[in-house]
Structure 1
Amino acid sequence: MVMRALRHRTLAGQLLVLQLGIILMVLISVGGVSLAQSEATFTRVEGRRVSALAELTAANPLVRSNLEVPEERTGLATLALQTVAQSSVTSVTIADEDENVRVSTDPLQETRPMPLGSTTVGTGASWSGTMMIDDERFLVSQVPVLSLEEDRVGEHLGTVMIAESFPSVWERLRGASSYLLTYLGIALALGVAGSWLLARRIKRQTLGLEPREITGLAEHREALLHGIAEGVVALDPQQRITLVNDVARRLLDLPEHAIGMSLRDLRVEGRLLEVLTGEGVADPDGADDLPRDDVVIRRGRVLVMNRMRVVRDGRHLGTVTTLRDRTALAALERELGAFRSTTQLLRAQTHEFANQLHTISGLIQIGEYDEVVRFVDAVTERRHSLDLLVNSRIQDPAVAALLMAKASIASERRVELRISEETSLDRLQPEDAVDVATVVGNLVDNALDAVSGGRPGQWVSVAIRHDAASVEVAVSDSGPGVSPEVAAEVFTHGFTTKAATAGERGIGLALTRLICQRRGGEVQVASTHEGGAMFTAHLGIAPVAESVR
């Protein structure tokens, strides 16, 4: 019934009732301790007084003389009444050697034998303790009366019993301390006030929500976190993980007990640490709180992460970062890049052929037929020399076709694409050719972006070398180069060369590094003597079969 009633109360009401219950229990405990202490004090102090009074009465000559003469009772009743009146005891009883009561201030005791606290009392021993008499508890002291006559010294003449009733509970509470009830009342008032203030404070901290509402929110949060396809990681201002769902734990390779641990304890370092904490990734326009995507490579995965600061009432509560696995999307982008390169090649060739046809048409119109022949021969020789140069040094059709396409694009941008004399590449396995073409295409695109729109005479140089188990791709350019600050992190950040200079985000170099690492290699960047940049990639390949050759 009590629990059912509590469930229907508000959170503040439940706290108030529970606190009041605790306070009442404390008050009852304090009262019980006070009663126990009062009883112990009464037993100790009054026990000594009753024992001393009983010994004093037993030594009274009047008591001894009356007990020596059985028929004599002169003055015993008066002595007993005086003792009760002067000492404030409950009763005084005097019995003979057979424990028959001679005098007692309690009329009920005169009609029966004296009750003994111990069997040794009847043989002349003293006894003190508590005794139940007529269903009432008494503090009793029984002392023997001994003869002093010469021929009867030490003879047991009778027993004196003095009894004092125990005070009631109320009397003991009142006797424990004259201010005990006042203290208990003050404590009760302070407890009630404190409970009410605590209930109000908790009510404010829970934003006025009741327990069932808080439970519902927690259930909805868990369902939401574990029901979405994106990873979610929340950090407090001390960079401790306060929330992480299963997707984020899997993508970041975090342990099951990650909640409550700091990023340093989890050994999160590098670019991932910067994105999660916001250190070193401030927006150049100063709009750090605006949502934007950052690319991070983590354990062979391409992750796109978006971090938001959480602020409430001007207080920084932490950050929430969402992350998406874009590894599959990156692979799709790589395939789309091949189609895009083909489209750009066709467009560049169309533009080039159109210019050549316009030139031929103009020469025909003005009657310069010999110039037409010389122009066609020059175009044919230049195209043949490029085809011969590429095909003589690169035997793999996919890579050769890619470089032919890039040459047309470079020509359209007024950039010279050079094939290094050191270039030599045999025919590769199809899966190896795809990865090598992707690396070459990304590095050449970045180099073209770096030199396009610059001064005349810009160039991009490509060198490809291989042995039985690896391929090395080196792409250099005459552009502005890569600054040391960007060079240290360009692949971790996932920038392209264009992104490094213009501030746009991309994943070209990130994909290049990912492909190289998957094949047991690496990609690096360095500055050339001319001031440009040179990217060098190493990839492991499968041995080329004779049938493929």
Structure 2
Amino acid sequence: MLRKLKLKTRMILALGLVGAMQTLLIGGFAGYYLSESLYEQIGQRALMVAKTVAAMPAVIDGVREGDSPALMALSQRVAETNQALFIVIGDRDAIRLAHPDPNRIGHSMGDDDGDYGIRALKQGEGYVSRAVGSLGDSMRGKAPIVDPTSRDIIGIVSVGYSLDQVLASIRRYELVLYGVLGLMLVGSVLAAVLIAGRFKRAIFGLEPEEIARLFEEQAATLQSVREGIIAIDREGTITTFNRTAIENLGLDPDIQLTGRAISAVLPDGELMSVLESGEPDFDKEVWFRGQQMVVNRLPVRQGDDIIGVVSSFRRRDELDQISQQLTRIMEYADTLRSQTHEYSNKLHTIAGLIQIDAKDEALALIGNEVSDHQALIHLLLEAVPDPVIAGCLLGKYNRAREMGLRLDIDPDSQMSDVPADLPRDQLVSVLGNLIDNALEATRQYRGAGGRVSLSMTDLGHDLIFEVEDQGPGIPEDQQERIFERGVSSKEHAGHGIGLFLVRQFVERWGGSVTVENLKPEGSRFTLYLPKDPGRQDHL
């Protein structure tokens, strides 16, 4: 019978019936829940005011000194401001210090309703109660007064709101509620008629065929995005896998991926971890099948439930090119800054020697300066062809001289066989962190004249960097902890990140970094980076 009716008629009957049932249910339960809610709200309001008054410095001082006149004035003022029936303040023995009726000052608060406020005074917790006292039936909130110095409970605050006000509010709301329920019943019938007529407008006037075409357009848009996009549902089943993702991951474009388990396509992926933890990942660098990716993973939520995960990723090739250029500029700028500062001091010295007619000393200083830098530049040109690494080392050499230290580079060092895909910006960041830490440790322990040594070799299958300082060394029980985030030997804040980033990069590249103490002083950091790393894929 119903199947013979038109869709519009069936919608009117169904929506009208649902609306009538909802109205009856609301009418049956709304009154009860309304009164309970109002009682609860009044009680919570009383408790909140009680806690606020108990935390006021003036109240704490007044209770501590037993100053009833001051507490009386304050409680009356606060009661008027918050439209409370009363605010009563008592000491640790529940003896009133403030009450709307002055004749009750000095008497026990138990005279009112038999409640001495034991929970507040003994257990230190606020609570709500309903009682009939000298001022009538009221909802009361009681809170302890705590001395901030000794943390002892020194008194109690009781705030009451008249239930006559609550009952009046309930009656007022009930009239409104019943009126609304009547309107809802009428409105449900009208809505059923209107919804059926406006159903097409609710879908923007589109026909089913047009909706299907829009779906295809959205799918085409998704495929045209230059970032790889993968989406899974709560069961770990792939719902979206665009063309860019297939190309970046080197998958067979003819395989149907939608509907397959993500674990079967990307067994080492971390999408399931995000699905379980609900924690998003933003701009995380990972390696996958020899490609460095920048990945974002975001859980998809429906209310409080996680219903899936979306991952977008892109290759970092273009970003690396820009980053390498910026790294070169920053290293050159740092080198120029250091050289400018150092040569400015040297020029002043030379000028002074000339003025005092110490020409031989001036020439010796100039010769020594030229000799040192020429030797360093010659060494870097021969041993380190990569301009980014060489620029970094030259900048650190000048930085050491600024600090009154020496950075000695082993003349037998060789670093020419650096893999092309090793990110230069990250390599110089890691190497710079190790050298900076060594310089800082040496300066703090030895002062001016200290020495930091660097040796490098690319013989064999690894790139090896050794940095030795003349610092105090690192206790054996701290040699692993210094690579944890936030752990630092420096006292002031803002440190504890450099070595954490060093370890993170080294492990991602498949290498290692070790630390050992030297005798009689100092420590040695050794960095191993494989030329052909076995990196893990964790897309």
From the CA coordinates, give the structure whose radius of gyration is larger.
1
TM-score range for the pair, normalised by the shorter chain length = 0.3 to 0.5
Q: TM-score, normalised by structure 1?
A: 0.45
Q: TM-score, normalised by structure 2?
A: 0.45
